[in-house]
Amino acid sequence: MSGIIEAIFGFCCFLITEIGLLFGLSYEAINVIAFCFVEPIFTGLMVILAILALCRVPVRIIGTVIFWSVVGIAAILFAVGTVLVIREGFDYSSSIEQQIRMLSVKEANPTIIDHYNSTILWLRTTAFNLHTTYHVINIVLYVIALPILSLFSYIIIRVRKQG
């Protein structure tokens, strides 16, 4: 199982690196933007809209537009990143080569670096406290839990009678 987690984590890191290189952003910047701001804000917004829908507030149209806009952008970035990963010859076992690519765009913004480092520390501490690995916590939180929470919120928004 840990081999699968390592492969998924390696692919995600490589994908983030490629998307960062595409936009001229560092690995750290992409991580902070996507996983410390966009994904949690999007998920929180979807949960709030689902709660409003449960209270019969008419949010179906706005919830649908927001959900599919974010999913569409994420799908495009994932597809483009995947093509770039395939073109570069992804090999998750080659961690030294991957680290060199990740560091090819140096992050200069101290706020990004501080936020990135504090998030890494929090993930490692959480992993330690739960007797698991950083990779597992990262995958469970950002690749599984937050997207599923957003999806369930969307489903509530769509099926709940409103107004």
C-alpha closest to that of 125 among 112, 134, 116: 134
Within 10 angstroms of residue 69's Cβ, the number of other Cβ atoms is: 11
d(CA 81, CA 76): 8
**For residue 139, is pLDDT > 60?**
yes
What's the number of domains the chain is made of? 1
Q: What are the percentages of helix, strand and coil residues in the chain, rounded to 5?
A: 80, 0, 20
Share the mean pLDDT of the chain: 88
Q: Smallest Cα–Cα separation from 50: which of 161, 144, 141, 155?
A: 155
Interval 117-135: pLDDT, tens: 999 999 999 999 999 999 9
Residue 163 has pLDDT above 70, yes or no: no
**In this model, does residue 102 exceed pLDDT 80?**
no
Location of structure tokens 């081999």: 3
- Which of 9-13, 20-24, 143-147 bottoms out in mean pLDDT, i.e. has the lowest? 9-13
Owning domain of residue 114: 2-159
According to the model, what pLDDT value does residue 18 have? 84
